[in-house]
A and B are shown apart, each in its own frame.
Chain A
Amino acid sequence: MPIYTVGRRRVIIALLLSGALLLTLDLRGNAVLDTIRDGFSRAMTPVEQAADVVTSPVRRAWNSYDNYDDLERENLALRDEIDRQRGTQAAAEASIIDYQLLLALNNLPSLSSIDSAKAQVVGGATNNIDQTVEINKGTDDGIDVGMPVVNQAGLIGKITNANARSSTVMLVTDPRYSIPVEILAGTADLELEDPSNTTPSGRTDDENDDLVEQSEAEQAAEEAAAEAAEAEQAAAEETPPGTSPEDIFADEVDLPQAGDPNDPANSTTTTLPEGPPETDADGNPILEPFTTDADGNPIDVPETTTTTTSTLPPDPEQLEKEFGVLQGRGQGRPPQVRFLQDIPSLAELQVGDLIETAGGSESLAPPNIPVGRVINRADRAGVGGPLLEIELNADLDKLNFVRVVLFQPLTEVDEPEVAE
């Protein structure tokens, strides 16, 4: 018997042509195919739920084996991250409140004014090409195709398929994903360093030691030179202005206005002297910045170096915006931002700049959703402009709860019907 007959070849060719035909019909949009697809998805739902219940012990066992070390490391890193961010949280919250108030005063749309639906990720991509996840909310919850999906860190993706009780989210890293974004040039200095090898001031331990030694030397010289003047001044005034403990601590909290937390110019260092208070010519103690107890007796306070660092928003006049299009590039590749004009007089793009959604009448996402930071810049010859590679704020490998922003661009919002 021949192993490869004409009849068999016909079957194979017919199947391949049928596949191509289906592909063509589906890409051009076909209501019948959409109905069949929706019906099959509904039919699959109970099967998947049953499979989910039955196989959950297997998945848990695998995850406990596979993810234990990663979780432990992540836990430690997160503790450091929390410590680092706790200090800047209050200032950030205040800035956000001010920002929302300003938007409300000027009748401008903001992200907080748009409804959203909370959902849980119930499945990931089932192949190695698509960057998608499935969530447990669908059209019954007001979700529609095209709506942006975010989590606490920022933009995640958009809805590409919405069933009644589930939806598919195309992640930002999918090659088919693209969205207009704005790059906030000049925000690179806000990037914080890895806290593992730094102190809260942003300096290493060695740098701090050097600063303390330098401060001690300078103080000794200043004390020797000012000793005579102080004695005269103390004789003239029992309590010289500006030298009370309140004054000293008032100076200490004079925070820098903006910029890099690692920049020494943005750190205030106050050094308090060690030892008992000095006396004037009459034997009266000169009121130096030292601490007393409840009875008024001086407490021996060792020399203290206090470094206060604050990260505040940069000067708005120094911020410039550049607009481009963010596009995913698949698994293992960072997304890119293209179509940048790169006019130095307008904005100078550099590594570390913040990326946000740009919004617009046709954009599928509202403005000002944080996306990520620039991690690489590649200049291209000609009019192509530079390419920016970005690191996303959201960790797309570990998604759990997400929020679907129930946003539709103005061009797709149905106009209300006017009653005749």
Chain B
Amino acid sequence: MFAALFQSSLIRLIPVGMILLAIQRTVFADIKVSGVVVQVVLAFVAAAGASGGSERGAVVGFVLGSMYDMVEGTPLGSTAIAFTVAGIVAGLLALIAADPQWWLKAIFVGLGCAAGEAMLPVVRLFIGEEHPWPANMPKVIFIVAVSGAIMSPILLPLSRWCLKIRKSEWTAPAEQSPV
């Protein structure tokens, strides 16, 4: 089922994911905004959801989240589940408008990021970690969401390219001749 839908997309998705992961682990691990780590991989997942729908967003979230877990040494699947939720949320939000403006998509990406970031400690709590919540959780979620929205103009076209999504082409309905 997955292979039929996304076999060709994964060829682009995995290298792009590796590059984003490397950027996350080098640049954004060092550059913090008010002490908060900006999540570029999570923003890409949300962008994929916003541009390709909840289904594609979920797959991208699962793949990149698993890669994230493998590199970071976190329990395999914990970040994958949170990122999957981020892709689903961004994809579902994108359904409210047929052809949303760029700023509306940025908001969808930001909200998807917020959902994913909020899910991370929830998953950790389910696997038995104590105190998984950062002391400044609202600030963390806010900054991650805003930074994701700011990065969305770059990440949305990138995610469309990865998933081979063409920009929607709307045509006016043919005029019907009066009976």
Contact of A331 among B54, B127, B134 (CB under 8 A): B134
Asked if A165 CB lies within 8 Å of chain B CBs, one says: no
Q: How far is the CB of B17 from chain A (nearest CB, A)?
A: 10
* Inter-chain contacts of B44 with A (CB < 8 A): none
How would residues 330 to 367 of chain A score, 1 for a CB under 8 Å from any chain B CB and 0 otherwise?
Answer: 11110000000000000000000000000000000000
How would residues 11 to 44 of chain B score, 1 for a CB under 8 Å from any chain A CB and 0 otherwise?
Answer: 0000000110111111111110001110100000
Q: Please, how many angstroms separate the alpha-carbon atoms of A327 and B88 in the complex?
A: 35
* Inter-chain contacts of B27 with A (CB < 8 A): 51, 55, 58-59
> How many residues from A make CB contacts under 8 Å with B?
58
Q: Which of B113-147 touch A at CB < 8 Å?
A: 117, 120-121, 123-124, 127, 129-136, 140, 144
Q: How far is the CB of A7 from chain B (nearest CB, A)?
A: 8
Asked if B93 CB lies within 8 Å of chain A CBs, one says: no
Q: Please, how many angstroms separate the alpha-carbon atoms of A342 and B18 in the complex?
A: 51
Contact of B135 among A3, A48, A333 (CB under 8 A): A333
Looking at A37-45, A81-89, A274-282, the stretch in contact with chain B turns out to be A37-45
Asked if B99 CB lies within 8 Å of chain A CBs, one says: no
A26 touches B134 (CB 8 A): no
Asked if A129 CB lies within 8 Å of chain B CBs, one says: yes
* Inter-chain contacts of A125 with B (CB < 8 A): 29, 37
Given contacts A8-B55, A18-B62, A48-B25, contact A161 B30 (CB under 8 A): no
A23 touches B77 (CB 8 A): yes
Asked if A11 CB lies within 8 Å of chain B CBs, one says: yes
Q: Please, how many angstroms separate the alpha-carbon atoms of A175 and B54 in the complex?
A: 33
Q: Please, how many angstroms separate the alpha-carbon atoms of A332 and B140 in the complex?
A: 12
Can you name the residue of chain B whose Cβ is closest to the Cβ of A162?
A: B73
Q: Please, how many angstroms separate the alpha-carbon atoms of A240 and B16 in the complex?
A: 90
Contact of A44 among B2, B71, B84, B131 (CB under 8 A): B71
Q: How far is the CB of A174 from chain B (nearest CB, A)?
A: 9
A27 touches B70 (CB 8 A): no
Q: How far is the CB of A179 from chain B (nearest CB, A)?
A: 15
B74 touches A332 (CB 8 A): no
Contact of A330 among B28, B55, B127, B132 (CB under 8 A): B132
* Inter-chain contacts of B100 with A (CB < 8 A): none
Given contacts A26-B77, A59-B30, contact A15 B37 (CB under 8 A): no
Asked if A33 CB lies within 8 Å of chain B CBs, one says: yes
Q: Please, how many angstroms separate the alpha-carbon atoms of A330 and B35 in the complex?
A: 13
* Inter-chain contacts of B39 with A (CB < 8 A): 127-128
* Inter-chain contacts of B29 with A (CB < 8 A): 123-126
Q: Please, how many angstroms separate the alpha-carbon atoms of A330 and B132 in the complex?
A: 7
> How many residues from B make CB contacts under 8 Å with A?
63
Q: Please, how many angstroms separate the alpha-carbon atoms of A12 and B90 in the complex?
A: 13
Given contacts A51-B19, A128-B140, A129-B120, contact A15 B131 (CB under 8 A): no
* Inter-chain contacts of B76 with A (CB < 8 A): 22-23, 25-26, 33, 37
Q: Please, how many angstroms separate the alpha-carbon atoms of A128 and B136 in the complex?
A: 10
Q: Please, how many angstroms separate the alpha-carbon atoms of A90 and B136 in the complex?
A: 42
Asked if A221 CB lies within 8 Å of chain B CBs, one says: no
* Inter-chain contacts of A214 with B (CB < 8 A): none
Contact of A59 among B31, B78, B81 (CB under 8 A): B31
Given contacts A55-B23, A125-B37, contact A12 B77 (CB under 8 A): no
Q: Please, how many angstroms separate the alpha-carbon atoms of A55 and B26 in the complex?
A: 8
Q: Please, how many angstroms separate the alpha-carbon atoms of A168 and B72 in the complex?
A: 8
A130 touches B74 (CB 8 A): yes
* Inter-chain contacts of B5 with A (CB < 8 A): 11
A19 touches B62 (CB 8 A): yes
Q: Please, how many angstroms separate the alpha-carbon atoms of A176 and B125 in the complex?
A: 12
A44 touches B22 (CB 8 A): yes
Asked if B165 CB lies within 8 Å of chain A CBs, one says: no
* Inter-chain contacts of A43 with B (CB < 8 A): 18
A175 touches B132 (CB 8 A): yes
16 A-B residue contacts at CB 8 Å? A11-B59, A24-B77, A33-B76, A36-B70, A41-B71, A44-B18, A51-B22, A51-B25, A51-B26, A55-B26, A59-B31, A123-B26, A129-B124, A130-B72, A130-B74, A132-B73
Please give 9 more A-B residue pairs, beta carbons under 8 A apart, in addition to A125-B37, A128-B134, A329-B131.
A3-B95, A11-B55, A14-B1, A19-B77, A20-B81, A26-B77, A58-B27, A123-B26, A161-B73
> Which A residues are closer than 8 A to B by beta carbons?
3-4, 8, 10-12, 14-16, 18-27, 33, 36-37, 40-41, 43-44, 47-48, 50-52, 55, 58-59, 62-63, 66, 123-130, 132, 134, 160-161, 168, 175-176, 327, 329-333
